[in-house]
Amino acid sequence: MSEFTNRVDLQGFSDKISQLRTEAHKALVGQEQMLDLLLTAFFAGGHVLIEGVPGVAKTLTARLLANMTKAEFKRIQFTPDLMPSDILGTSVFNPKNTSFEFKSGPIFSNLVLIDEINRAPAKTQSALFEVMEEGQITNDGTVYPMDELFMVMATQNPIEQEGTYRLPEAQLDRFLFKINVGYPSTEDETKILMLQNQTAGFKKLDFISEVITKEEAIELRKNLKDILAKDSLLKYIAELIAQTRNHPSLYLGASPRASIDLLNASKAYAAMKGRDFITPDDIQYLLRPVIEHRIQLTPEAELQGISIEEVSQQIVQQVEVPN
């Protein structure tokens, strides 16, 4: 009996994933799911919202991904007084040729870290709508496209509410994943202290080597379109998302964008596992980080103490898994 071989050559992809994991673990202890989801989003071409209390390596992880690539990286610290033009750029008058010229903002990069995204008011958050969905910005009627490799990694603290602004649903829907980061175990925290004690320049991540170039990342992303997704699994994704719109505990369900995101993420995750086809397990694993920031409980469900996590689990149980 001959060994099974993939239709799509994933050897180069698997090698890069292995190298990225090895390099990441030089600075990141534990947090396997966060690393899994971050790499999945990177190759699926999606944006991520990383949520957790201060000090749990949200910003460090985003910078870690940037250090492992040769892609351009910029960081934007969101504050209450930040204006849309501070992010996107603005037209500046040039007296030499007596005309206005567009001066691009920090959003023009490959990997963009937006730290504490909920610190900026709605008008500044809404400046990200076009660029996150369409990969371009429009200024004075002129369209300025982003680079082919473009990813927003945003962080927020869910605990502190003073001086923060809730992200609107339209903004949340543009994130492929919401990654919740918790406290490390005592064992992992001990390893963190040992790593900090032994490694010079830890905060600057000077010891992290580049693993993948921008061109390699773009090429690997293109290969993911060939990952097989059977019609039965496409229907499964559609039924899972549709269930969020019909669940009695929810008044806001997930959008069709969520269906597309779940499909693209499943393809990237399958490739990371060395497969050229997606499985129901891939879809179920990624469902929660794809939908839980997009759906909202009814007031009655909140009063009953029902959680978003419980609803997600119910949805998985209610939809029949294809063979």
Residue 267 in this model has a pLDDT that exceeds 60: yes
For 33, counting Cβ atoms within 10 Å of its Cβ (0-12 exposed, 13-18 middle, 19+ buried), the class is middle
Res 3 pLDDT > 60: no
Beta bridge partners of 250: 297
Question: Which residue intervals of the chain bear CATH 3.40.50.300?
Answer: 26-212
pLDDT one-digit tens code per residue, 300-315: 999 999 999 999 999 9
Residue 236 has pLDDT above 90, yes or no: yes
Would you state the pLDDT for residue 6?
Answer: 64
Q: What's the whole-number mean pLDDT along residues 54-80?
A: 86
Residues 43-56: tens digit of each pLDDT = 999 999 999 888 77
171 has a pLDDT exceeding 50: yes
Delimit the CATH 1.10.8.80 region(s) of the chain: 227-323
Q: Give the mean pLDDT of 75-101.
A: 87
Instruction: Report residue 195's pLDDT band, with 50, 70 and 90 as the boundaries.
Output: confident
Task: Provide the whole-model pTM.
Answer: 0.89
Q: Please determine, for residue 240, whether its predicted confidence score (pLDDT) is greater than 70.
A: yes
- Give, in words, the CATH class of 26-212: alpha beta
Residue 150 has pLDDT above 60, yes or no: yes
Q: What average pLDDT does the segment 311-323 reach?
A: 91
Measured distance CA(167)–CA(307) in Å, rounded: 19
For residue 293, what pLDDT is reported?
94
Share of the chain above pLDDT 70, in %: 95
Distances (CA, A) of 25 to 16, 19, 66, 96, 111: 14, 10, 14, 52, 20
CATH topology for 227-323 is: Helicase, Ruva Protein; domain 3 (1.10.8)
CA atoms within a 13 Å half-sphere pointing along the CA-CB vector of 217? 27
Model confidence at 1, pLDDT cuts 50, 70, 90, reads very low
